[in-house]
A and B are shown apart, each in its own frame.
Chain A
Amino acid sequence: MPVFRARLAALFLAIGALLLAGSASAQTPGYEQALKGFAEDSFSDTDAAITGVAISGHALAARVIGALQDGRLLFDPAEKKIYLREPPGLLDAATGKPVAGDPPAGLKAVRINNRLRRTIDAALGGLSLLGPDPNRRFEAAQSVFKSRDANALVALDVAIGKEAVPRVKKAMLEARAAIVVTKQGATELEQLEAIAVIRERSDLDARALLGGGLPSGLSANVQQAAADAIAAIDQYLARWRMLQNLWYGISLGSVLLLAAIGLAITFGVMGVINMAHGEMVMLGAYTTFVVQEAIRGYAPGMFDYSLAIAIPAAFVVAGLVGIAIERGVIRFLYGRPLETLLATWGISLILQQAVRTMFGPNNREVGTPAFMSGVVDIGGLAITLNRFWIIIFAGIVFVALLAALRYTTLGLHMRAVTQNRRMASAMAINTGRIDALTFGLGSGIAGLAGVALSQIDNVSPNLGQSYIIDSFLVVVFGGVGNLWGTLVGALTLGVANKFLEPYAGAVLGKIALLVLVILFIQKRPRGLFALKGRAVEA
């Protein structure tokens, strides 16, 4: 008996669908006719009524069936009229108009049972498939793909016939394939075609369907096709995963590059071990915070430009602090690198504590401008926009720094002092001033790194500490005194880190990387791109 009813329902659906496909104008009479079924107070009539309402395509259809699902669909046994109870009051289901005056007496809710609930679900799914909004249709198709409810097949076929948006149509075809491949009684040819469609989909859901969702008792051909499809999908997914890892790695590399490039100037060019470098990064991040607070307070409309203002501000703040450190402490310690290391470590403690005293020990909230928030999906790649902009920013900073060293007078003087301090001095270059400016430049760039890091990391007094060891490793790995080495070092370490992570976990991956770098330094004590010549061996 239930089987017979289901067949009956399917038949009604099919007939209705034909009508629907044939003429769009013939909708409303069918709706009112079907609606009357609800008043008969029998499950089988209600079942037919649901199907009838659903395929009528009437504007009220979804609301009527939704109300039935929630027990809000009422009928008047005497008048055989149907009403909807919605939050404002009672509506006439046939017209959608509110009922004037007192509600008629003796209203009863239309009863439903479990079998009807399934019919309702299928009808609602079918209605969404036919709805006016392409995104809703797409979502409905996706949910059918996951539920693989055979009841939705007819509605799906109707919808595929009408669908004009390619993306939605593709989703619907995939959903149809998912139903065909799992339902009983499909021919082998149909199943093979369906598997081909699912194979094209190539995502985790498709893999899950082919891997575990198939019914038993498929023919050898179909099973073989499914296995092939799984292999193809796995290969495809692995390729995207690789790209995703590469993206994460480049993203991490760009962060390392930003943090390390200032160090490459102070350590690489000047030979000064600045353990307070991380604190310059932190100062940059806090400058961003202060700038944003000021903008929130005085010009909230400018918020999207806050980073543009913070970038020069952070450069100046960190740069000036750097110059002060160089003039105040480091210049007394030239030629004593280990002492410099200790003194700058002391400075880093003082700076950390100063920031902690001023801003408190907790993380500060730094906002993200609208254009930097969000994710863009490209194929299987998820690209977060803030990371994307940080990569761009790191590239710009790198190129700008290269250009500054290459084409400006200051850059020329810096290179001269690095290569031969006494000769430069003899050529009337004020080496002390150049030292201060070089250190200021390196620190200022650390400040820029702070602006970028404020977007992806916690802004706390300990921000710099977490980057200092990594930064030193990048510089040492890449080779001291060579900006290109720093670039290669940062990207290599970033990518290697992200490729090790899936195999070893985040912490073990990090440890493995540290060990690898330690071993590498044993092999090439002067890094990847070592400066050649005797000057290196002091």
Chain B
Amino acid sequence: MITRRLLEAPDGRGWIFLGILAAIAIIVPCLNLFAPPDSPFHVTSSTLALWGKYLCFALLALSLDLVWGYCGILSLGHGAFFALGGYAMGMYLMRQIAGRGSYAHPILPDFMMFLNWKELPVYWYGFQYFPYAALMIVLVPGALAFVFGWFAFRSRVTGVYLSIITQALTFALMLGFFRNDFGFGGNNGLTDFYDILGFSVQAPGTRAVLFALSAVALALGYLLAQMIVRSKAGKVLIAVRDAESRTRFLGYKVENYKTFVFTVSACMAGVAGALYVPQVGIINPSEFAPANSIEMVIWVAMGGRGTLIGAALGAVIVNYLKSIFTIGALAPYWLFLLGTIFVLVTIFLPKGVLGLLPKREPRSKRNGAGVASGAAAQPAE
């Protein structure tokens, strides 16, 4: 039933997107592993890691687009959910080091030995088991989003106010995680990982699989998001975005819909963070920085708000530019470029890059695609 729903969700463009993702998930790791290094088709390991990172960011952007593009909740704190998922994964990876650290303590990670801690804090229990860690990756960001959303949406904090308190949320978390006594490695965060599920994090095979998994996660995230926005609830979400009070007057419990979509989105962001950490090899509190969370918003705006595919595309474009511009002689110009993108996209490209493409007529009206894309074309406050 759910599978059928999932597969019915994408429209034509969506299938193209999924097709490309599937191709990337299979071909790129193969080119990395099997093409000889001197062949023109060889993908270096660093390129693989870089694009794996882009895929995680794409999933993150997708989750943000789900709340911002379809429900009008501009979260400036999505980086917090991403980082929490990342920390949950990081904790699992730290527990896998077990005894191979510089202090060779069988249980305690190095940073705790360094702080002279005698025993593991309670909240680190259980993270040596992958299923538990995997659960936490989804549950912790989800729970935070649920509690936060429960309070915020119930008291009708909307618009800019909500944006500012989400920003304050991630700022507070950043300050907390920077502290050593929080028990998450303080300033340095969690790093120097060895194994994931028994495979070396550094091994080319593991990296290729992580890359493929990121692509798969992005595809699944897209299907899930698409299913939500195509469902009846999705239409209510769009109604909330376009006229919240009117929707409430029509008898919908607006706060429940918002809390639901906010929580789902946070879970997706957490998964993105969890896939990100083993690929870059570190998670530290700077991931909570409010500036990061705002940057995520511009990925979505750049690609096209309320299109899902556009959000993923925007994340890849902006981060690709960032990779080019933050190296070497161009480095001083990156912030100029990023700032200009912010300004130009908001003024001249309200529909993002996808808005530049010729508008396609939906192939069928059966799934309400016409309504969804028609509404999505004009995101309003």
Contact = CB atoms under 8 A, between A and B. Distances in A.
A66 B158 CA distance: 77
A349 B151 contact: no
Contact of A346 (B159, B245, B340): B340
B-side interface mostly: helix
Contacts of B163: 273, 338, 341
Contact of A352 (B333, B335, B345): B335
B341 A337 contact: no
Nearest to B159: A337
A329 B165 contact: no
B16 interface: no
Contacts of A160: none
A506 to B, nearest CB: 9
B83 to A, nearest CB: 16
Interface string B159-178: 11101110111011001101
Given A333-B346, A522-B151, A525-B155, A338 B381 contact: yes
A465 B290 CA distance: 10
B292 to A, nearest CB: 12
B168 A349 contact: no
A507 B346 contact: no
Of residues A275, A338, A519, which shows the largest number of chain B Cβ atoms within 10 Å of its Cβ? Answer: A338
Nearest to A267: B160
B100 interface: no
A476 B335 contact: no
Contact of A537 (B245, B335, B342, B345): B245
Interface in A311-350: 329, 332-333, 335-343, 345-350
A523 B175 contact: no
Interface in A332-385: 332-333, 335-343, 345-350, 352-354, 356-357
Interface size on A, as a range, is: 35 or more
B335 A342 contact: no
Contacts of B343: 329, 343, 346-347, 350
A324 to B, nearest CB: 13
Contacts of A465: 291
B309 interface: no
B91 interface: no
A410 interface: no
Contacts of A335: 381
Contact of B152 (A341, A356, A510, A522): A522
Nearest to A505: B179
B346 A469 contact: no
A343 B342 contact: yes
Contacts of B168: 469, 473, 514, 517-518
B105 interface: no
A67 interface: no
Interface stretch (B36-44, B121-129, B293-301): B293-301
Contacts of B346: 333, 339-340, 342-343, 346
Nearest to A512: B172
A517 B350 CA distance: 33
Given A350-B336, A522-B157, A523-B155, A469 B381 contact: no
A429 interface: no
Contact of B339 (A332, A350, A508, A511): A350
B157 A521 contact: yes
A399 to B, nearest CB: 27
Interface string A488-517: 000000000000000000011011001101
Given A336-B381, A510-B175, A342 B301 contact: yes
Given A337-B159, A507-B175, A518 B342 contact: no
A409 to B, nearest CB: 30
A518 B164 CA distance: 9
B342 A514 contact: no
Nearest to B245: A537
Given A342-B346, A343-B346, A514-B171, A521 B298 contact: no
Nearest to A506: B175
Interface string B263-305: 0000000000000000000000000001100100110010000
Contacts of B172: 510-511, 514-515, 518
B99 interface: no
A472 interface: yes
Nearest to A275: B294
Q: Which 6 A-B pairs have the closest CB atoms?
A: A346-B342, A350-B339, A349-B339, A353-B335, A514-B172, A346-B339
Interface of A: 273, 275, 329, 332-333, 335-343, 345-350, 352-354, 356-357, 465, 469, 472-473, 476, 507-508, 510-511, 514-515, 517-519, 521-523, 525, 537
12 contacts: A273-B160, A333-B347, A335-B381, A339-B301, A340-B346, A346-B341, A346-B346, A349-B339, A514-B172, A517-B168, A519-B151, A521-B155
